[in-house]
Amino acid sequence: MKWFIYIVFFLSLPLCSFSQYKGSNAVANPGFENIIQCPDDYMQLNKAINWYGTNTDLYHSCNPNMVPYNLGGFQYPHTGNAYAGFIRIGFHSINKGREFIHNKLAQPLAKKKYCVDYYYSISEWTVENGTTFIPDSVGLMFTVDSFPDQWGYTPLFQPQIITQLVNDTINWIHASALYDAAGGEKYMTMGSNNTTFIPLHSVYIYGEYMFVDDFSVCECSFEFSLGNDTLLCPGDNITLHAGLPNAVFTWQDGSQGDTYNVTQPGIYWVKAYVSQYNYTSYDTIVVYDGDADHCALPLEVPNVITPNNLLGKSLCFPV
């Protein structure tokens, strides 16, 4: 068999693309593109650099028998050439199983806010006793020392992020959340957080299988400023700018938009809501009535001063 060897650039981490993001993606090999060898069978997620998982699957277009058709159904990668798949909840006549995928992050997380994003698609191989099995949720967990010692039949306990899944077997669904890192997290794990077991059946039937692709964990900020408190002179106006991308703004009078025109002194505030991460931030500015010293017109002094306004005339008088 011909093996495919891929060159990996560890130092060239993908940048975070949204305007709130800062720096590089903390997830190493976020799209499963960089591999040690081309997978020739299932249960080979470990062939993707920095990804680990017992019995979990790697799908790469280097193997035409895995993309787009595979044991999980039919799916192209969200981007690039690869994606992963795992059993969120499975069962058969004897026991019930779960699979987990793990990533050793390219860099430890700082004690900051992180925007967490990934894409998922529910497999056609998601059935319960011959009928459609409706997925509920999946958990994402960050740890400091190692991957959590959970796999097989134990659900993922205490995940920091829980995604309510959409039952879509055709499209890639974008999932996103905001994570306040404690600092020092080096590992990321995804798996079922559901503690409810599916009833056993007399035949071997899997419960729910899902595909995932394009993970990103990026430091992000939702701070913005209307500027310092200021003075307003009679007849003047000030335009306030709320500079936070991808946000919906609501001002103190209920108006919306990223700018607000101030024509009189007062207290002005704006609420900025970023729906993708369900986060709301505020800022306030006080506009004072300008005093006489601040608003007085400057004295205009002409460049040339002549007696009796005799500009251009001789200043010599006959004696």
Residue ranges of alpha helices (H) inside 91-211 are: none
Q: List 286's β-bridge partners, or say none.
A: 267
Contact 166, 208 (CB under 8 A): no
Residue 195: is its pLDDT beyond 70? no
pLDDT recorded at residue 193: 82
| 206 & 236 share domain | no
Q: Is residue 188 predicted with pLDDT exceeding 90?
A: yes
Per-residue pLDDT, averaged over 113-123, amounts to 95
Where residue 172 falls among pLDDT bands split at 50, 70, 90? very high
Identify whether 67 is part of a domain: yes
Residues 141 and 244 in one domain: no
Same structural domain, 149 and 263: no
Distance CA 209, CA 62 (A): 22
Give me the pLDDT at residue 198, please: 54
pLDDT bucket at 57, cuts 50 / 70 / 90: very high
Q: With contact defined as beta carbons under 8 Å apart, do 216 and 109 qualify? A: no
Q: Among 163, 189, 220, where does a domain finish?
A: 220
The rounded distance, in Å, linking the Cα atoms of 181 and 55 is 29
Domain co-membership, 159 together with 257: no
Q: Are residues 146 and 37 in the same domain?
A: yes
Q: What is the distance between the alpha carbons of residues 273 and 124, in angstroms, rounded to a whole number?
A: 36
Residue 51 lies inside a defined structural domain of this protein:
yes
- The residue-averaged pLDDT of 152-170 equals 84
What CATH number does residue 238 fall under?
Answer: 2.60.40.10
> Given this model, what pLDDT does residue 167 score?
87
* Residue 309: predicted pLDDT: 45
- In this prediction, residue 312 carries a pLDDT of 39
Residue 27: which of 122, 120, 121, 140 has the closest Cα?
Answer: 140
Are 126 and 257 found together in one domain?
Answer: no
Q: What is the pLDDT of residue 305?
A: 46
**pLDDT value of position 98:** 81
pLDDT of residue 252: 96
pLDDT tens for residues 226-265?
999 999 998 899 999 998 888 999 999 999 999 999 999 9
304 in a structural domain: no
Quote the distance between the C-alpha of residue 196 and its chain's center: 29
What's the domain range around 272? 230-295
What pLDDT does 204 receive?
45
- Cβ-contact 272, 224 below 8 angstroms: yes
Higher pLDDT, 179 or 307: 179
Domain count along the chain: 2
Q: How far apart are CA 61 and CA 206, in angstroms?
A: 25
Residue 11 inside a domain? The answer is no
CATH of the domain at 48: 2.60.120.260
Q: Could you give the residue ranges of the DSSP H alpha helices within the chain? A: 292-295
143/256 same-domain check: no
Q: Which of 274, 226, 249 is nearest to 19 (CA)?
A: 274
Count other Cβ atoms within 10 Å, centred on residue 215: 25
Decide: 105 and 184 in contact? Cβ < 8 Å: no
Which one has a higher pLDDT value, 153 or 12? 153
pLDDT (tens digit, 9 = 90+) per residue, 68-111?
999 888 999 999 999 999 988 765 544 457 889 999 999 999 99
Q: Which of 186, 220, 254 is the last residue of a domain?
A: 220
Mean pLDDT confidence for 48-64: 93
Which has the closest alpha carbon to 32: 56, 10, 60? Answer: 60
* 146 has pLDDT over 90: no
Residues 160 and 269 reside in one and the same domain: no
Does a structural domain hold residue 16? no
Residue 316's pLDDT band (cuts 50, 70, 90)? very low
- The answer to the question of residue 4 being in a domain is no
Query: Which whole number is the average pLDDT over 162-181?
Result: 94
* 3 found inside a domain: no
Residue 257 confidence (pLDDT): 93
The pLDDT value recorded for residue 202 is 44
Whether residue 4 contacts residue 47, with contact meaning beta carbons closer than 8 Å, is answered with no
Highest average pLDDT, of 19-33, 228-242, 283-297, 303-317, comes from 228-242
Same domain as 123, residue 79 = yes
Shared domain check, 201 and 119? yes
Contact between 223 and 180 (Cβ < 8 Å) = no
Distance (Å, rounded) from C-alpha 206 to C-alpha 54? 17
- Is the pLDDT score of 163 beyond 70? yes
Residues 42 and 106 in one domain: yes
pLDDT score at 148? 76
For 130-141, the pLDDT digits (tens) are 555 667 889 999
**Residue 294 pLDDT more than 70?**
yes
Whole-angstrom distance, CA of residue 246 vs CA of residue 230:
27
The answer to whether residue 63 sits within a structural domain is yes
Residue 60 sits in the same domain as residue 147: yes
pLDDT at 20: 66
What's at 70, amino acid-wise?
Answer: N
b/e sequence 26-41, b meaning 16+ C-beta within 10 Å: bbbbbbbbbbeebbee
